[in-house]
Amino acid sequence: MRLQILASLLLYLDCSQADTLTNPALPGFHPDPTCIFVAELNNTFFCTTSTINWFPSLPIYASRDLVHWKLVTHAISRPEQLPIWNYNNRGSSGIYAPTLRYRDGTFIITCTHASQALPDANLTKWDNFILQTKDIYGEWDDPVHYYAPGIDPSPFWDDDGVAWITSTFNGSGVVHAPVNLTTGEVTLPYRWLWIGSGFVTPEAAHVYKKDGWYYTLLAQGGTRERHQVTMARSRNFLGPYEGAPNNPLLTAYNNTKSYFQAVGHVDLFQDAQDQWWAFEWPEGEFPIFTNVSGTITGDFKLPQPSGPETVPAEGNGQLVDADDDFDFAPGSQIPTHFLHWRPPITKNYRVSLEGHKNSLALRSSMLNLTGFDGDSTNGRGQTMITRRQSHTIFKFSAEIDWSALSRDSEETGITLFQDQSQHFEIGVIYRSSLEPRNLTAGSLYLLPPNDFGPIALTTGPLPAGPAKPYIRFGGIGITQYRLREQDTWIEKLTEMPEEWIGLKLRFQIEAVNTTHYSFSAGAAGRSDEGLRTFGYTEGRFIVPIFSGATVGAYATSSGRYGEGAFESYISRWKYTGIRQVIDQPDS
pTM score, whole prediction:
0.91
Say if 269 falls within a structural domain: yes
Residue-range definition of the domain harbouring residue 339 = 334-579
Q: How far apart are CA 245 and CA 208, in angstroms?
A: 18
Residue 339 contacts residue 419 (beta carbons within 8 Å): no
Does pLDDT of 19 surpass 50? yes
Say if residue 131 is in the same domain as residue 182.
yes
Say if 1 falls within a structural domain: no
Identify the CATH number of the domain in which residue 77 sits.
2.115.10.20
Confidence of residue 480 (pLDDT cuts 50, 70, 90): low
Say if 101 falls within a structural domain: yes
Say if residue 352 is in the same domain as residue 305.
no
Say if residue 409 is in the same domain as residue 452.
yes
Per-residue confidence (pLDDT) for residue 228, from 0 to 100: 85
Residue 250 contacts residue 293 (beta carbons within 8 Å): no
What mean pLDDT is predicted for residues 473-494?
A: 78
Query: Apex CA 439: angle with CA 436 and CA 442, to 5°?
Result: 105
Say if residue 415 is in the same domain as residue 292.
no
Say if residue 345 is in the same domain as residue 473.
yes
Say if residue 295 is in the same domain as residue 375.
no
CB neighbours of residue 18 within 10 Å: 12
Of 17-21, 106-110, 225-229, 298-302, which gets the smallest average pLDDT?
A: 17-21
Does pLDDT of 280 surpass 50? yes
What mean pLDDT is predicted for residues 512-524?
A: 95
Residue 566 contacts residue 355 (beta carbons within 8 Å): no
Distance linking the first and last C-alpha atoms of the chain: 36
Q: How far apart are CA 344 and CA 365, in angstroms?
A: 11
What mean pLDDT is predicted for residues 246-259?
A: 76
Q: How far apart are CA 344 and CA 326, in angstroms?
A: 20
Say if 228 falls within a structural domain: no
Per-residue confidence (pLDDT) for residue 451, from 0 to 100: 33
Looking at this protein, which amino acid is placed at residue 524? Answer: A
Of 44-48, 130-134, 201-205, 565-569, which gets the smallest average pLDDT?
A: 201-205
Does pLDDT of 478 surpass 60? yes
Residues in the chain: 587
Question: Residues near 299 by Cβ (< 8 Å), separated by ≥ 6?
Answer: 1, 2, 19
Say if residue 398 is in the same domain as residue 541.
yes
Q: How far apart are CA 125 and CA 130, in angstroms?
A: 16
Identify the CATH number of the domain in which residue 415 sits.
2.60.120.200
Confidence of residue 268 (pLDDT cuts 50, 70, 90): confident
Confidence of residue 14 (pLDDT cuts 50, 70, 90): very low
Say if 226 falls within a structural domain: no
Say if 3 falls within a structural domain: no
Say if residue 393 is in the same domain as residue 484.
yes
Say if residue 303 is in the same domain as residue 401.
no
Confidence of residue 5 (pLDDT cuts 50, 70, 90): very low
Confidence of residue 128 (pLDDT cuts 50, 70, 90): very high
Residue 486 contacts residue 504 (beta carbons within 8 Å): no
Domain count, the chain: 2
Q: How far apart are CA 67 and CA 3, in angstroms?
A: 14
Q: How far apart are CA 142 and CA 54, in angstroms?
A: 18
Per-residue confidence (pLDDT) for residue 1, from 0 to 100: 25
Task: Pick 571 or 18 by higher pLDDT.
Answer: 571
Per-residue confidence (pLDDT) for residue 255, from 0 to 100: 62
Q: What is the pLDDT of residues 54-69, one digit of tens each?
A: 999 999 999 998 888 9
Say if residue 107 is in the same domain as residue 74.
yes
Say if 13 falls within a structural domain: no
Residue 32 contacts residue 218 (beta carbons within 8 Å): no
Say if residue 355 is in the same domain as residue 295.
no
Q: How far apart are CA 138 and CA 314, in angstroms?
A: 9
Residues of the chain above pLDDT 70, percent = 87
What's the burial of 288, exposed, middle or buried (CB within 10 Å: 0-12/13-18/19+)? middle
Say if residue 287 is in the same domain as residue 403.
no
Say if 283 falls within a structural domain: yes
